[in-house]
Amino acid sequence: MAVFIDALDHEGHGICRVDGKVTFVDGALPGELAEISVFRKHPKYDSANATRILKSSSQRAAPKCAHYGRCGGCALQHLEVSAQVAAKQRILEENIQRIGKVKPELILPALYGPTWAYRHRARFSVKRVDKKGGALVGFHEKKSWFIADMHICEVLAPHVQKIFMPLRQLIPQLSNSDRVPQVELAVGETSTVLVFRLLTPWNEQDREIVARFADEYNVHIWVQPKGPDTAVPFYPEDSGLLQYSLPEFNIVHPFRPTEFTQVNPHINRILVHRAVQLLDPKPHERIADFFCGLGNFTLPISRSGAKVVGIEGSKTLIARAQENARLNGLSKKVEYAVDNLFEMTPEKYAALGHFDKLLIDPPRDGAMELVKSLPQDNPPRRIVYVSCNPATLARDTEVLCHVKGYTLMAAGVANMFPHTAHVESIAVFER
């Protein structure tokens, strides 16, 4: 059946109507005429694959990765990067308009970083599969729990793009090859760590095999017997912390491989620059950084001379944030606290004291309870909201603009995750 594709959904599928019913088409782009095959029917919509493109879009691009289409990591490699960013900007604006019921006064120019080889963090699933050459190590296949049969990932940092086959050869040599469900990758500026989740420990022979692997591929190996906090160096035994820097602010952030850092350090620098510029902190101001993590925004804001209070749910990250404030000579300017911000109340917020401005960078769930808790009297004048989910940003925008009296001054996207459907954005509110 041939159909005309009207639009792109938030997961990168083409959208069309077949006999009036909405159909999401994997692999087809707006403006294209495509032959499709429906693989799942739902009461309100169908899901289909494009089996042939009869008339292709001028924005169609040749996917770079050999595994594109099968691997679930990327969703948009068949669309030119500038068109990907435009689509994400449209998704952001539509969400803000439909759910937030406002229009930004200004659309910020999109932030661009490198298009390939940008990713410094990844979590690979592992499974010993004897007939597939020993083991599978990689991302899940699209819409499936199967692990993709992969040998390269073009969005990973250059020196680890081809780590898959070596890992797939390593796993079967280990005594506990069926007890290693996951390997996490974390790339820092001076070293790279692979954290092996181990359900049973390694023996002496494993140690030798793993040490040879680490030396050959120039990586450090950590092992994680239980939760992320249990990860410890394995080889070399004195493998230290990773680090990333923000040269514009003369800041260095050491971190453990299992601690949260932004996956794309290149655009992170640009995003921090823009967030601080939009916040425009002044020396006499008191500013809160909610969901502060290890202080990615807190320390750059505090360089202005403002007093900054960073609040975050993870004790481990707050301990790291305090340590990093000391290391960067900023502990007099910042204060940190652990709190579950999903349980914020007006009373708890009031107890924090007055803030002139806020930076909010929540996880995908957004910051509903926090924005609902903002005071009507003497509220923060400006809020810079960094979001990884336009739907929750839009939901929180509705409260900020229609209940709390803020104006959405500006919003725009950052191309933090090229070729994936994830939308990172930044918005500024003022009262």
Ligand X SMILES: C[S@@+](CC[C@H](N)C(=O)[O-])C[C@H]1O[C@@H](n2cnc3c(N)ncnc32)[C@H](O)[C@@H]1O
| Residue 100 vs 300, nearer CB to ligand X | 300
Nearer to ligand X, 198 or 317 (CB): 317
Min separation Cβ 246 and ligand X, Å? 11
Cα gap 251→206, rounded to integer Å? 38
3 state DSSP class of 133: coil
- Work out how close the CB of 305 gets to ligand X at its nearest, in angstroms, rounded to a whole number: 21
77 within 8 A of 374, measured Cβ to Cβ = no
Can you tell me which of 80, 342, 391, 431 binds ligand X, judged by CB under 6 A? 342
Strand, helix or coil for residue 324: helix
Q: Does 334 interact with ligand X (rule: CB under 6 A)?
A: no
Q: Which of residues 243-302 bind ligand X (CB under 6 A)?
A: 260-262, 291-293, 296-297
- Site for ligand X contains 186 (CB under 6 A): no
**Rg of the chain, C-alpha, whole Å:** 23
CB of 290 to ligand X, least distance (A): 8
| Site map (CB under 6 A) of ligand X, residues 1-40, x = contact | ----------------------------------------
Stretch that binds ligand X, among 79-87, 280-288, 312-320, 413-421 (CB under 6 A): 312-320
Identify whether 401 is a catalytic site residue: no
CA distances from 409 to 117, 339, 394, 424 (A): 33, 29, 14, 18
Complete DSSP assignment for 151-204: S--TTB-GGGTT-HHHHHHHGGGSTTTTS--EEEEEE-SS-EEEEEE-SS---H
Task: Tell me how far apart the alpha carbons of residues 78 and 84 are, in angstroms, rounded to a whole number.
Answer: 9
| Residue of 69, 228, 240, 363 that binds ligand X (CB under 6 A) | 363
Span from 41-49, 237-245, 300-308, 336-344 in contact with ligand X (CB under 6 A): 336-344
| Residue 10: partners with Cβ closer than 8 Å, 6 or more residues away | 91, 390, 421, 423
Q: How far is CA 38 from CA 3, 31, 72, in A?
A: 12, 19, 19
Q: Does 314 interact with ligand X (rule: CB under 6 A)?
A: yes
Residue ranges binding ligand X (CB under 6 A): 260-262, 291-293, 296-297, 312-314, 317, 340-342, 361-363, 388
